[in-house]
Chain A
Amino acid sequence: MSRFDRKLFRPGGAVKPEEREWPSIRGAINEAMREEMRRDPTVFQMGEDIAGAPPFGVTTGLAAEFGLERVRDTPCSEVAVVGAAVGAALGGMRPIVEFQFGDFLSVAIDQLTHQAALLRYLTGGQVRVPLVIRLPCGGGQGTGAQHAQSLYSWFAHAPGIKVALPATSLDAKGLMKAAIRDDNPVLFFEHKALYRTRWPVPPEFQDPDHVIPFGRAAIRRAGDDLTVVATLTMVHHALAAAEALAAEGISVEVVDPRTLVPLDRETIVGSVRKTGRLLAVDEAYLTCGIQGEILALVTERAFGALKAPPRRLGNPGVPVPFAPPLEDAVLPDAGRIAAAIRAMVTP
């Protein structure tokens, strides 16, 4: 279980020899954007420092290839930049906006939830608003309470916004391509702790048209006793927990929804019908969080299949602290996931 200690996601770790050929999530997102910008001249980028000094390196090299008209460094003006993305989308472009930290979207929330998300509806379907906002998110790196949240529940709650959460390099590339080609506003949450992680990929990773459609969950591990629904880093924590529990004779299925809007309800419900138990795990705040939505879904649709009360893990509702021991205290991890599963399957 120590393999998935959150510290392993921290920057500076050496790349293991067997992982050298695997693409990183950061590289996969970069590659997806590069290919889409080559394919479609209407795709362009806006963000702070994205051309000159990309903060997490996700846009590295794009300004050199596509120039500063299409990879636009912006002033520190989140409202104007998100609004400009909305307007550019109305004008036939496909903007991609990077926020240095996803938390900062709170500054521009009106432009997203009331303008980008609603204009098609309000105009009776006259307009399309194809835009992608990239949001580095998540804790575990000591970035502090205003740089470490996982706020997708806010936006999954609002109508008109799609929400993608890639947990592997293949998904990062395929979901980003789907996001750029989508005619609706998409929030693309990128966990900071995953940027440098590398994952094996199948040959189709190289195919510039390999798109992972939204609304299709991935079953990361098959199992019979309990279903864990998890996203981003929690997918990997859940897989580590499942591996450890297999030695104890507990068979865990891990489902990664990959997108919260649209949500692959069928796969989640189908998995719980099979296993009879549900644990939803996320870094999101528990109150009104995405974990609760998944529990509600399952209790409405598969109550009769439940052998135990469903459970959820997440931030219980405190800011994500700065000091590592405090931060570790509020976020789920493989050990807590394993403990919760044991308690649920033990009669």
Chain B
Amino acid sequence: MRTEIGLLRTMLLIRRLEAAWAEAYARDEIGGIPPALSTGQEAVSAGACAALEPGDVVFTTHRGQAPQVARGLDPTRIMAELYGRRTGYNKGKSYHVTDVSRGVIGMGGIVAAQVPVAAGMALAQKLRGTDRVSLVFFGDGAANEGAVHESANLAAMWTLPLILLCENNGYCISQPVAVAVKAASIADRAAAYGLPGALVDGNDPLAVRDAVAAAVARARAGGGTTLVEARTVRLGGHLAHDPQHYRSREEIAAAWEACPIKRFRARLAAAGLLTEEASARMEAEIEAEIAAAVEFARQSPVPEPREAFEDLWA
């Protein structure tokens, strides 16, 4: 998935998988807490995960489906989890999907809580003498949590192989980042921790990939932690049911103009890397893949009540 076409495919797969999730929620086919979608933010996960290798570990946020897809998790088992089925990765216990074998730890129930845990994974990677790294996603809202500040300082002090990836989508639920962060950027905070910081266009998967790849290379070589801020735009609401009354129509329309998938597809077409035909074929394949995932989820059994009492203790 490191190729340009691979990145586009990942982004489309994220978009379509999440759309199917939101549609299932709108149809009342699944209930519970509404879907947290990454619509418009796909380039961040696609680009960042393209810079990783097996054995590296990512820690996700409440908006976690994008990195799950980008790390190659099986869409059928993701969808089954979102449907609350026992065939899901977490056996219906959490929509923060985890697949340890592919290095995805699903967190996000508590904003920023994944950041110190990722620092600990990086510590384990270092103490065990590996050259593997950890990458943790967190939002602009989470950036104001103490857990992030403490972890950044600890990671800096201990030279941990960690990438702090701030996925700045412009909003903390309804709060624009401009009224929650006084400084010009979150990346600038890196200097205060004694870390290198990078600000990248989060709607450009190649820019994200390259910035994260540089951070990963540094971490693998024993150079420690990097803070990367990827600026993107949330196109949907905080959760799928959010009508976004706090944003103007003009703002949302402008954001859709900057849609990373639209932009990247045009770029690849202009570069001669993607024909109309190839694009249509890719979309049809993804459509079929997601339809199969939904069908798998629908046909999967719900958990047995007794399973509520399992998996607490090791």
Contacts and interface: CB of A to CB of B under 8 A. Distances in A.
Contacts of A129: 314
Contact of B93 (A74, A91, A122, A159): A122
A80 B153 contact: yes
B90 A111 contact: no
Nearest to B312: A121
B121 A124 contact: no
B117 A115 contact: yes
A84 B151 CA distance: 8
Chain B CB within 10 Å, residue with most, of A81, A88, A95, A111 = A88
Contact of B109 (A44, A114, A126): A114
B313 A92 contact: no
Interface string A178-203: 00000110000000000000000000
Contact of B90 (A44, A90, A115, A122): A122
Given A83-B120, A87-B122, A88-B127, A123 B94 contact: yes
Interface residue range, chain A: 35 or more
A220 interface: no
A120 B150 contact: no
Interface in B247-298: none
A14 B121 CA distance: 45
Interface in B111-168: 113, 115-125, 127-128, 134, 146-147, 150-151, 153-154, 157-158
Nearest to A86: B117
Nearest to A82: B116
Given A111-B147, A122-B93, 17 more contacts: A79-B150, A79-B151, A80-B154, A81-B154, A83-B115, A83-B151, A85-B120, A87-B118, A87-B121, A88-B124, A91-B123, A92-B128, A119-B105, A122-B98, A123-B106, A124-B98, A127-B100
A110 interface: yes
16 contacts: A72-B158, A74-B154, A75-B153, A83-B117, A86-B116, A87-B117, A87-B122, A88-B123, A89-B124, A110-B110, A115-B117, A122-B93, A122-B94, A123-B94, A127-B100, A159-B312
Interface of B: 57, 88-94, 96, 98-100, 105-107, 109-110, 113, 115-125, 127-128, 134, 146-147, 150-151, 153-154, 157-158, 310-314
Contacts of B124: 87-93
Interface string A53-97: 000000000000000011010110101111111111111110100
Nearest to B311: A125
Nearest to A89: B120
A130 B314 CA distance: 9
Contacts of A111: 113, 116-117, 147
A221 to B, nearest CB: 32
A258 interface: no
A319 B147 CA distance: 28
Contacts of A184: 313-314
Given A84-B154, A115-B113, A124-B311, A79 B146 contact: yes
A80 B151 contact: yes
Contacts of B89: 123-124, 126
A184 B314 CA distance: 6
Given A87-B122, A92-B128, A114 B150 contact: no
Contacts of A83: 113, 115-117, 119-120, 147, 151
A81 B160 CA distance: 13
B123 A80 contact: no
Contacts of A82: 116
Nearest to A125: B311
